């Protein structure tokens, strides 16, 4: 639940880009994708968990090569700009995407062809969540993106599991509200 709490913190921090509406859009798009492809919610949670486990090393390597601030800026500024497809291609080249699809397929029982077809949408959702931790352009600080940092520095104790993040986000977004 740690990463989900970091998302809530980004939503509540006026210096970060996160909002409930943004989280709802991302969560709803994953739910629609899952329903449209006939993927059970528990299977989608596993898909997201495995995706997180497999992209973490790649993003850690990217951070080591380009530096934290450049990676933060690439993710934080491009998600809403329409450049997300090129960012995905630069962070996750076609060969890596194929490996991701095959690895997820092995652990979920879904076909690698199906995973390959939905992978751009899954990666867009993940990068969208990470962008919620980016600083608003109006802030003068260049502090690191706490969501991306928490994910990349996770000690594999389950606190940075993307499957859990989206499960809790779904519960949060779809919770009954008091009138």
19-60 residue pLDDT tens: 999 999 999 999 999 999 999 999 999 999 999 999 999 999
Q: What pLDDT band is residue 179 in, cutting at 50, 70 and 90?
A: low
Answer yes or no: is pLDDT of 16 > 90: no
* Angle at CA of residue 111, ends 29 and 26, nearest 5°: 10
And the tokens for 129? 């969540």
Domain containing 166 equals 2-172
Answer yes or no: is pLDDT of 150 > 60: yes
In a domain, 178, yes or no: no
Q: What pLDDT band is residue 64 in, cutting at 50, 70 and 90?
A: very high
In a domain, 41, yes or no: yes
What pLDDT is stored for residue 80 in this prediction? 64
In a domain, 177, yes or no: no
Total domains in the chain come to 1
- Give 99 or 84, the one with higher predicted confidence: 99
In a domain, 12, yes or no: yes
Q: What pLDDT band is residue 134 in, cutting at 50, 70 and 90?
A: confident
In a domain, 110, yes or no: yes
pTM of the entire structure? Answer: 0.88
In a domain, 148, yes or no: yes
What pLDDT is stored for residue 154 in this prediction? 67
What pLDDT is stored for residue 2 in this prediction? 83
In a domain, 45, yes or no: yes
In a domain, 78, yes or no: yes
Q: What pLDDT band is residue 157 in, cutting at 50, 70 and 90?
A: low
What pLDDT is stored for residue 25 in this prediction? 93
């Amino acid at each position: 639940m740690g990463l989900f709490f970091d998302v809530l913190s980004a939503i509540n921090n006026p210096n970060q880009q996160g909002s409930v509406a943004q989280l709802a859009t991302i969560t709803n798009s994953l739910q629609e994708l899952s329903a449209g492809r006939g993927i059970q919610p528990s299977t989608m949670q596993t898909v997201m968990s495995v995706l997180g486990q497999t992209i973490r090393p790649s993003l850690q390597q990217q951070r080591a090569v380009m530096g934290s601030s450049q990676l933060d800026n690439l993710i934080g500024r491009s998600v809403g700009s329409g450049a997300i497809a090129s960012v995905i291609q630069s962070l996750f080249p076609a060969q890596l995407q194929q490996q991701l699809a095959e690895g997820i397929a092995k652990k979920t029982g879904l076909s690698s062809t199906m995973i390959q077809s939905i992978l751009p949408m899954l990666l867009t959702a993940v990068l969208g969540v990470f962008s919620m931790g980016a600083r608003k352009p109006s802030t003068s600080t260049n502090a690191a993106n706490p969501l991306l940092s928490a994910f990349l520095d996770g000690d594999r104790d389950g606190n940075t599991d993307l499957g859990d993040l989206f499960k809790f986000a779904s519960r949060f977004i779809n919770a009954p509200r008091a009138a």
